[in-house]
Structure formats: C-alpha cells, structure tokens
Amino acid sequence: MSETLKLTKSVVEQWVVTDQQAGQRLDNYLVTRLKSVPKSHIYRLLRTGQVRVNGRRVKPDYRLQEHDTVRVPPVRRDAPEAPKTPSHGLVAVIADAIIYDTPALLIINKPSGVAVHGGSGLSFGVIELLRTLYPNAPLLELVHRLDRDTSGCLMIARKRSMLRYLHDLLRNEHDIEKTYVALVAGRWPERKREVSAALRKNTLRSGERVVRVDDEGRESRTEFRVLEKFAGATLVQATPKTGRTHQIRVHAAHAGHPIIGDEKYGVDTVNAEFRQLGVRRLFLHAASLRFADPTTGHEIKVEAPMPADLDDSLKSLRGKKA
C-alpha cells in the first residue's frame, strides 16, 4: 500500500492584512499563505465566494488594503513536502537577465518561455527564481505581467511603497510608458498610427482565456509606428495607451496584421511560413519602460536588448526585404 500524506487540522481562519502585505492581489496572497493547497482549489474557493474580505465577496484580482480581514473557510492541507529547488542554470539565466537593480525595484529582460509565476505545469517562474536568487528579500512582488512567450521589460518591486507607486502610475495609464517591438504579418500602412477598439475578456468552455474586440468591452488604445518593412511582414513599435490583457496582440489582429508566431490570435499558415524563415515563437518584445522616479522626480528609462533569437530572425528576413 502506498503511503498517504497526513492532513493538517482544518479550521476557519481569519487574517488581518499588514502594511507589508497591502497592495497584493487577493489570489496571490492566498497562494502564498496556503502553500500546500492546490491553486485550483484556492480559485474554486474564490469563485464560490467562500473567501471573504471584510465580510464581503471579492474578485481574485482585488487589491488588499492594510487592516483588511480575510476569512478563509476550513481547508484541508497536505503535510508539506520537501520544497523543489530550481537548477543553478535556470537561476543564472534570471540573474543575467537583470537590467535595473535598486533596493526598491528590479527590472529584468524576461526570457521568452519563462512564466512570471510557477503553475500550469511549470515548477518555477520568474518570482520563484528570484526568491531563490534573493532568499532573504522581504518582498519580491510583480508590478505587472507579461505573457509567457513575450520577452522584455518586467518590473518586480522590492518595497511595498514602490509597488503602490507603480500601481498608481499604471492605473493612471499615461504616467508610465511601455513600448514594444512586434513583427506583424503583411504591410502595415504608415498612416495607421493608432488602433482604438474596446476589448472584452472571454473564457471558453475549455477554460482557455481569450480577449475579443467588443463594443461593450473596456476602452483600449494602442499606438503603432512602422520601423522596418520586409517581404510579407512589418516590424512595428507598439505603445499601449491602456493596459488590457493581450491588448497589442488583439489590436494587431483586429487591424488585419496579426503578430507573427501568435498561436492564439494569429494565422496558422502565416506562422508556418515564417517558422521556415526562422521566426519560431511569438515575435513580441517589451523593449522599454519610462516613468518618473518617486523620490527625485527624474525620468527613469530602461531598455531591454532584443533577444538573440528575434535578432537572428530579423537578420534572416533582411535578405528578403520588400
């Protein structure tokens, strides 16, 4: 008979949010506090309203405030297993990706293929790798997210005050500038400098999350600028003026020029054609960030070099320019 894990006692718990915990999303807070509980079960508790904040039902993305009271129903927890640790090689990759480092903020040039968080079959994401690299750091919290296949600038707060400051900038939408570089299908018109189309999240029966253009969705706007033209493709700079999930990818597709390598919103035949030319993944790179330093007011601008795989793809395409 195989040995079964012992389960800890199950009771109702109430936690008061501290100043250091304020600003976190509720789901991330619960994942941290309930380490031995599967994420699927945590989200089921949230979805069914069994987790309450100050006696009310709230959504998983609710930002906790200092002194909030979080009530968690009885949850059966497995006895903790020995924690897994990432390989030295994987940690070294993240260490080499750091492009901005202060006591309050890290910015990394996130490699494509690395998720921001572990889960969904991945043992380690950026946060887990950074916690291995900085085991004594009191705080390492994502300021925003990048899709797993997107490379480039990703901010991680090391102080709660910086996390709150940057979240305020992101909410204001015009106070922080994020620019991306994307290779899109076809010839993007020079005159088309903006795509403005409301976006709405949808969840398919399979559980897959997709974003669609929908007049009843949230206002969304992206500016585009042509950088270079190739046979059958255009390199563009994309500057999102709002911060919606998959915004650049959906707006590019809506304009009739999906990002090459995009398996969710792109065109399979186009992706296959350019795969033969060396574009083997989503060609979307978060190239730079620009915002004001909260202490001095001086501008901070951080640029993430183009990854070698995308750079090599461009070199290959330049031999076939339009």
pLDDT tens-place string over residues 74-94: 887 665 555 567 778 889 999
CB 108 within 8 A of CB 98: yes
What is the SS3 assignment for 29-64? HHHHHCCCCCHHHHHHHHHCCCCEECCEECCCCCEC
45, HSE (Cβ side, Cα atoms, 13 Å): 23
Task: Please give the pLDDT value at position 78.
Answer: 61
* CATH code for the domain defined by 88-157: 3.30.70
Q: pLDDT tens across 191-207, in order?
A: 999 999 999 988 776 66
CA dist 178 to 20, 75, 158, 211, 261, Å? Answer: 27, 41, 20, 20, 21
Tokens of 194: 């903006």
Q: Model pTM? A: 0.76
Measured at the CA of 313, the angle between CA 307 and CA 315, to 5 degrees, comes to 100
Tokens 């990703």, located at residue = 154
CATH says 175-290+300-318 is which class? alpha beta
Domain with CATH 3.30.70 in the chain: 88-157
Give the residues of the chain that fall short of pLDDT 70: 1-10, 20, 77-84, 118-123, 205-207, 320-322
Domain with CATH 3.10.290.10 in the chain: 13-72
Task: Please give the pLDDT value at position 207.
Answer: 65
Q: CA-to-CA distance for 182 and 287, rounded, in angstroms? A: 10
The domain made up of 13-72 is a member of CATH 3.10.290.10: yes
Domain with CATH 3.30.2350.10 in the chain: 175-290+300-318
Q: Exactly one of 147, 168, 262, 312 is catalytic; which is it?
A: 147
Q: CA-to-CA distance for 226 and 158, rounded, in angstroms? A: 36
Q: pLDDT tens across 241-267, in order?
A: 999 999 999 999 999 999 999 999 999
Which of 294, 7, 30 lies closest to 162 in space, CA to CA? 294
Catalytic residue at 149? no
Task: Please give the pLDDT value at position 6.
Answer: 42
